[in-house]
Amino acid sequence: MLYAGFMSADLPLFPQPQEPLDTPRLLEVGSAPDEPCLRADAARNRARLLEAAAELIAEHGAAGVTMEAVAAAAGVGKGTVFRRFGDRTGLLTALLDHSARKLQADFLGGPPPLGPGAPPVERLHAFGRAVLYRTAEQLDLHLAAQPEPTRRFSHPARRGLHTHVTMLLRQILPDADCDLLAQTLMAYLDPALINHLNRQCGMPMERLENGWTDLVARVTSTGT
């Protein structure tokens, strides 16, 4: 599950097998590409808008968040909300900044096994568990913030996660087509699938976690 501005120019979308895959740096999340540093007043306005949106979600769910409702709750004009976030998806995506930064910091520089220092297979297992449970905690928001189908797989958030999974797979299976294998693993962590399996089919999260463990073992041929 995770969000606008997540991918940097340092991270290739589909690195070729013979190319070294650079270790990603901590990436910036949230600010528009053309405004890396917001003025103090603009930052306060943005924080107020996000706070208003979060309160609306708490009261009415993600479906209750519209640009008009957020503008009214924050006491600003609707145009201000559109200028800051572009559209409703941009607004909802910005609300995921904190968890996106947390996940990113954890797998790039946090303690093992999610962070560096553990064998790549253990890191891959930990990554899936982290994404599963963090997505489930904010599932309504993740579903509402998903980009349209034509942009779904090229969205910066997904590309950032895909690059990390590709990096781990290339350490485990250097001769495999790790780009495609990463897409297979990422599909299992899709918010819409988590929603279907957990909420609509009634599968407990423990079963989804076990499914991830089994899938990783089979893809990497490491056994359970």
Q: Which of 10-14, 57-61, 100-104 has the lowest mean pLDDT?
A: 10-14
Q: Which domain covers residue 178, as residue numbers?
A: 96-220
Residue 117 located in a structural domain: yes
Please report the pLDDT score of residue 171 as a whole number.
97
Q: What is the DSSP string of 98-163?
A: HHHHHHHHHHHHSSTTTSTTS-HHHHHHHHHHHHHHHHHHTHHHHHHHPPPGGGTTT-HHHHHHHH
Residue 33 located in a structural domain: no
pLDDT at residue 214 is higher than 90 = yes
Looking at residue 199, what DSSP letter applies? Answer: I
Residue 215 located in a structural domain: yes
Residue 196 located in a structural domain: yes
pLDDT at residue 30 is higher than 60 = no
Higher pLDDT, 4 or 187: 187
| Percent over 70 (pLDDT), the chain | 81
Structure confidence at residue 63 as a pLDDT band (50, 70, 90): confident
Please report the pLDDT score of residue 62 as a whole number.
81
| Percent over 90 (pLDDT), the chain | 45
Residue 65 located in a structural domain: no
CATH code, 131 = 1.10.357
Q: Which of 25-34, 115-124, 174-183, 192-201 has the lowest mean pLDDT?
A: 25-34
* Number of domains comprising the chain: 1
Residue 115 located in a structural domain: yes
Residue 165 located in a structural domain: yes
First-to-last CA distance in the chain?
25
Both tokens assigned to 212 = 């991830």
pLDDT at residue 134 is higher than 50 = yes
Structure confidence at residue 128 as a pLDDT band (50, 70, 90): very high
Distance CA 77, CA 79 (A): 5
Looking at residue 221, what DSSP letter applies? Answer: T
Mean pLDDT of 101-109: 87
Q: What is the CA radius of gyration of the chain?
A: 18
- Hey, how many other C-beta atoms are within 10 angstroms of the C-beta on 4? 26
Please report the pLDDT score of residue 223 as a whole number.
60
pTM (2 d.p.): 0.71
Residue 124 located in a structural domain: yes
Mean pLDDT of 107-128: 96
Please report the pLDDT score of residue 224 as a whole number.
52
